[in-house]
Amino acid sequence: MNYQETIQYLYDRVPMFQRVGASAYKSGLENTYALDEHFDHPHRKFRTIHVAGTNGKGSVSHTLAAILQTAGYKVGLYTSPHLLDFRERIRINGEKISEDYVVDFVAQEKGFFEPLHPSFFELTTAMAFKYFAEQKVDVAVIEVGLGGRLDCTNIIQPDLSIITNISLEHTQFLGDTLGKIAGEKAGIIKPGVPAVIGETTPETKPVFLQKAKEANAPLYFAEENGREDFPGISPELKGIYQQKNKQTIVTALTVLRDLGYRFDATMVRYGFGHVSSLTGLMGRWQQLQERPTLLCDTGHNVGGFLYIGEQLKALGKKLHIVIGVVSDKDVRGMLALLPQNATYYFTKASVKRALDENELQHVAAECGLKGDTYPDVVSAVKAAQKNSLPEEVIFVGGSNFIVADLLASCNALNLDQRILR
């Protein structure tokens, strides 16, 4: 099989949560332990930093990787989901895993993993850990897939655990209250391993305190960190929510420095300022066009839309909002946070989980949002481009998949493709 055939094989043979939803979720770590033993525990051969949370964990992971890379470390980065190419999930110093490695891994190992029937994420995690070990990375930043306690990344023994924040998402798996979800994500806190918490609520803070006490793990709350150890930071990522992420990252860096990691303020500033070029990060309040301005963001739940809605309103310009969502989200809660005085273009992404655009339009109307429907992202964006004056703003978002479809269509839409590395 060539690379494309191999990726299609993975999509067909192992269920992928991002594409099909709940049916792909597997609780328990039996497959993970079996794969880990088969590959001789590769995660034990490099240092790790573990990042969980409802929102912001991707930005935090990429920024930390960018800073450590700038400081001279050979840095693995494991994140999900991907936007355009599977290989975005597994990087070393910003370079994606090679197509040949993916092809060879599947060809050589399918005789072992096929009888296990692992999920897509279980198999991908095993591939990433094996690759990082073989490439002899110094440290890998590992983003949790879903939850924490039972996530297959949770077999690692990290130098530092980070939990960015907690909001209601994936309640069918993680629990229906903030406290229950915090309990699942706090499952990444390991005995004696320091943990940084980005944001808390009255429901979640006691959960973290109790878990850290049980694990005898030093606990640091970014909200309480008033130190300015790295002055002059000007983050490349401009979303309002990135200010929260910045505080989480700075607190984490302080702890990492105490653990013996070597970097200075100049390296920190450079990493913050060049995340996209250093790591390949895409889709975070990213601008793809001027006059009219076209922005996209991968925020896809109520917690993310809280900041997106605030930032859109703060622009003070006429807004054209291209939006599509997946069916298992709190759609009404997300839409209620968006401005009513915008023109909407309701659409759907090219995945099975996408909510039908007509149903989205119906729910949006109940929230006071008005607009027409379009069968795909390209037709919706073209309509917004046609209807927008040069001084106005087009925003595209609602899910990772909407942004992925947008980025895949940059050429057809005459958008800036320089970010698509």
**Average pLDDT across the chain, whole number:** 93
Domain boundaries, the chain: 3-279, 286-408
Domains 3-279 and 286-408 share a fold: no
* pLDDT tens readout for residues 320-365: 999 999 998 899 999 999 999 999 999 999 998 899 999 999 999 9
pLDDT confidence tier of residue 22, bands split at 50, 70 and 90: very low
Q: Which CATH number fits domain 286-408: 3.40.50.880, 3.90.190.20, 3.40.50.720, 3.40.50.300?
A: 3.90.190.20
Distance CA 208, CA 184 (A): 10
CATH number of 3-279: 3.40.1190.10
* pLDDT tens readout for residues 165-184: 988 665 556 767 999 999 99
Average pLDDT over residues 27-48: 94
Q: Is 267 left (phi over 0), alpha (psi -120 to 50) or beta?
A: alpha
Residue 137's nearest CA partner among 69, 75, 71, 67 is 75
Average pLDDT over residues 178-195: 96
What secondary structure, in 3-state letters, does the chain show? CCHHHHHHHHHHHCCCHHHHHHHHCCCCCHHHHHHHHHCCCHHHHCEEEEEECCCCHHHHHHHHHHHHHHCCCCEEEECCCCCCCHHHHEEECCEECCHHHHHHHHHHHHHHHHHHCCCHHHHHHHHHHHHHHHCCCCEEEEECCCCCCCCHHHHCCCCEEEECCCCCCCHHHHCCCHHHHHHHHHHHCCCCCCEEECCCCCCCHHHHHHHHHHHCCCEEEHHHCCCCCCCCCCCCCCCCCHHHHHHHHHHHHHHHHHCCCCCCHHHHHHHHHCHHHHHCCCCCCEEEECCCEEEEECCCCHHHHHHHHHHHHHCCCCEEEEECCECCCCHHHHHCCCCCCCEEEECCCCCCCECCHHHHHHHHHHCCCCEEECCCHHHHHHHHHHHCCCCCEEEEECCHHHHHHHHHCCCCCCCCCCCCC
Q: In a 10 Å sphere around its CB, with 0-12 CB exposed, 13-18 middle and 19+ buried, how is residue 100 labelled? A: exposed
Q: What is the percentage of the chain residues whose pLDDT exceeds 70?
A: 94
Average pLDDT over residues 225-251: 91
CB 195 within 8 A of CB 189: yes
Residue 254's nearest CA partner among 403, 21, 64, 420 is 64
Write the CB contacts of 134 (distance below 8 Å, at least 6 apart in sequence).
42
pLDDT confidence tier of residue 50, bands split at 50, 70 and 90: very high
User: Which residue type, as a one-letter code, is found at position 36?
Assistant: D
Q: What is the pLDDT of residue 417?
A: 62
Asked if the model's pLDDT at residue 418 lies above 90, the reply is no
Distance CA 106, CA 1 (A): 9
CB 168 within 8 A of CB 46: no
Q: What is the pLDDT of residue 13?
A: 80
Q: What is the pLDDT of residue 173?
A: 60
Average pLDDT over residues 379-387: 98
Q: What is the pLDDT of residue 24?
A: 44
Residue with tokens 């429907």: 373
Distance CA 205, CA 146 (A): 20
Average pLDDT over residues 211-224: 97
Distance CA 131, CA 342 (A): 46
> Can you give the pTM of this predicted structure?
0.93
Q: What is the pLDDT of residue 227?
A: 81
Asked if the model's pLDDT at residue 317 lies above 60, the reply is yes
Measured at the alpha carbon of residue 166, what is the angle toward residues 281 and 267, in degrees to the nearest 5? 40
Residue 209's nearest CA partner among 222, 223, 195 is 195
* pLDDT tens readout for residues 105-146: 999 999 999 999 898 999 999 999 999 999 999 999 999 998
Q: Which of these ranges, 9-13, 263-267, 416-420, has the smallest mean pLDDT?
A: 416-420
Give phi and psi for 286, each to the nearest 5.
-95, 130
Asked if the model's pLDDT at residue 374 lies above 70, the reply is yes
Q: Give me 308's structure tokens.
A: 């997106």
Distance CA 246, CA 241 (A): 9
